[in-house]
Amino acid sequence: MKTKYFIICGKFFDGVEQRLKKNVKMLIEGAYITDVGESLNCPSDAQVIDLSQFTVTPGLIDSHVHFEFAAPSNFKDFAVTDTDEMKTLAVAHNLMKSLRSGYTTIRTTGTSFQGFGMMDAKRAIERGWFAGSRFLVAPHALGTSGGHWDFSVFHTNSNPYVSEFLEQRNALGSGADAFKTLVRKQVKYGAEFIKIMAAGGFSSPGDDPNDPQLDKEELRAIIKTAKSLNCPTMAHAYTSPVIDMLIELGIDEIEHGTLMQSHTADLMEKHDVYLVPTIVTLLPPDPEIDLSRVPPKSEAYIFKQEKYASQLQESRKIVIDIIMNRNITVGLGSDIVALYPSTDCWREFMAWVDIGIPPLRALVAATSANARICRMDNKIGALKPGMLADIAAWSRDIENDKRALSQCDFVMKEGIVYPTA
C-alpha cells in the first residue's frame, strides 16, 4: 500500500510563480503529489506533516556541480592525486550531504575521473545503497590536450612522460573523428549530457577565457554526433565569439557566458539556448569565510580576474538582463571546486541575490527552470499534481535572508522523508 502524507504548508512556493502563497496543503501518495490546494481535507489514512511554520518549496536543483572534489581544497591536487575509487566515494558522500541540504537533484557537468566511476555513484544512489540526491551525469568534459580540463598541466607540463600518463583518455582528443568516438563512448557508458570545454578558463594556467580550444569542425562533430544519439550538449564558454559559433552549430546550453556581449543574448533567445551562469565562482570570497584556513586561489585565477575585471562588470549587466527580461531559460549552477565545500550549493542563490536578482526569481531558476534544463520538467521542479514528491522546507526568511537556503529543515524525495543536515 502506498504511504499517504497530508502536508500543511506555512508559506508555499510552487516553483513557477514568483510569489509565496499561504494556507496551502498537499496530498502525497507514494512517490507523487496527487493534490494541492487551500481547501484540501486530510484523508483518514494519511499521516500529517505540519510545516505550517516553514516556507515550503520544491526540492532544489543544482545544474552545475563537480562533486568528486572534496572542497574546500585545491582542486588541481584532487584531480591528479585522488584515485577514481576515492573520487567515487567523494561523490557518494556529497550526494548524501546535498540531499540533506534540500537539493533533491544534482547535475554534474564533466569530471576529473579517468574512467566512469561517476556513473557507479549514480547507480549506487538509484539502487538505494545510499540516500542521496537524484544524480544526472555528463561523465567527462570533452577538451584538448593542454586545455582548461587537462589537469596534468598544473604539475607535469615540464615532464611529458608523466603528463601523458595523467591525461584523461576519455575526455581529451584532437580532430573531428576522435571527438565523434569520445561522444559515442560517453553515451555508451551512460552520459545524459555531453559537456564541451570549448574555451579556456579562469583557474587553469596556460590558457585564457577568450581562447577557443576546439576548432569548428571538432565542435560540429561533437554536437552533430550527440544529436544523432539524442543526447543534449552543453559548453563551457565565456565570450561572444566562441558562444556565437556554438549557437550556429546547434549547442543546447551555455555554461558561464559571463564575458558575452548583448548580441549573443539575442542569439540565445532566438535559438532557445539555455544558460547556467555560475555567478558565485567569480564573486569576491564570502567575508564570513576565514581565508587563512582554505587554499588560496591560483595565480592564474587572480591574474585573469584582474585582466577581465571591467569586462566582467559590463557583461554581468547582460546576464542580469537575460535573467530578468529575456525569454531565455536560466538555471542555478554553483560550480564550486575550491574555497567552499562542494555541497554549498546555496551559495549560488546568495550570489544571485547579491547582484540584485529578487530571491523568488532565483528560486524559479533553482526549481522549474533547472528542471527544464535537466529535461525533467514533467517530473520535478514544481509542486503540482502528477509531479514527483520532491519537497523541501526552510525556517529562515527566503525573501529577506540571502543565507536562508543554507539551513534546510525538511526534505522529501519521491515521497520519502529524509533527515536534514
Task: Read off the pLDDT of residues 158-188 as tens digits, 9 standing for 90 and up.
Answer: 778 777 777 888 999 999 999 999 999 999 9
Buried b (16+ CB within 10 A) or exposed e, 355-373: bebebeebbbbbbbbbbbb
- State the pTM of this model: 0.96
For range 311-317, the mean pLDDT: 93
Return the SS3 of 241.
helix
For range 40-54, the mean pLDDT: 97
* Half-sphere exposure at residue 341, Cβ-oriented, CA atoms within 13 angstroms: 13
Amino acid 168: pLDDT: 84
Are the C-beta atoms of residues 231 and 192 closer than 8 Å to each other? Answer: yes
Q: How distant, in Å, are the alpha carbons of 13, 59, 64, 184, 405 from that of 100?
A: 19, 11, 18, 35, 12
Domain ranges (residues) in the chain: 4-58+381-418, 60-373
Task: Read off the pLDDT of residues 334-349 as tens digits, 9 standing for 90 and up.
Answer: 999 888 899 999 999 9
CATH superfamily of 60-373: Metal-dependent hydrolases (3.20.20.140)
Return the SS3 of 7.
strand
Whole-number average pLDDT of the chain: 94
Amino acid 14: pLDDT: 98
Q: Label residue 321 by pLDDT band (50, 70, 90).
A: very high
For range 226-244, the mean pLDDT: 98
Other CB atoms within a 10 A radius of the CB of residue 296 amount to: 12
Decide if pLDDT at 190 tops 90.
yes
Q: What are the grid coordinates assigned to 21, written together? A: 502563497
Q: Which of 22-31, 153-162, 300-309, 322-331 has the lowest mean pLDDT?
A: 153-162
Amino acid 73: pLDDT: 63
User: How would DSSP label each residue in 11-60?
Assistant: EE--SSSSS-EES-EEEEETTEEEEEESS----TTPEEEEEEEEEEEEPE
Cis previous bond, 160, omega within 30: no
Residues across the chain: 421
Decide if pLDDT at 70 tops 80.
no
Amino acid 402: pLDDT: 98
Amino acid 386: pLDDT: 98
Task: Read off the pLDDT of residues 79-124 as tens digits, 9 standing for 90 and up.
Answer: 778 889 999 999 999 999 999 999 999 999 999 899 999 999 999 9
For the chain, what percent of residues have pLDDT higher than 70? 98
Q: What residues contact residue 11 under an 8 Å CB cut-off, 6+ apart?
A: 20, 21, 22, 54, 55, 56
Q: Which residue has the cell 573531428?
A: 176
Amino acid 81: pLDDT: 81
Decide if pLDDT at 353 tops 80.
yes
Task: Read off the pLDDT of residues 373-416 as tens digits, 9 standing for 90 and up.
Answer: 999 999 999 999 999 999 999 999 999 999 999 999 999 999 99
Are the C-beta atoms of residues 414 and 391 closer than 8 Å to each other? Answer: no
Whole-number Å distance between alpha carbons of 327 and 161? 49
Q: State residue 15 phi and psi, 5-degree precision.
A: 95, -10
Amino acid 156: pLDDT: 65
Decide if pLDDT at 421 tops 80.
no
Amino acid 109: pLDDT: 96
For range 262-277, the mean pLDDT: 98
- Domain 4-58+381-418 sits in CATH at 2.30.40.10
Task: Read off the pLDDT of residues 135-159 as tens digits, 9 standing for 90 and up.
Answer: 999 999 999 998 888 888 877 667 7
Decide if pLDDT at 76 tops 70.
no
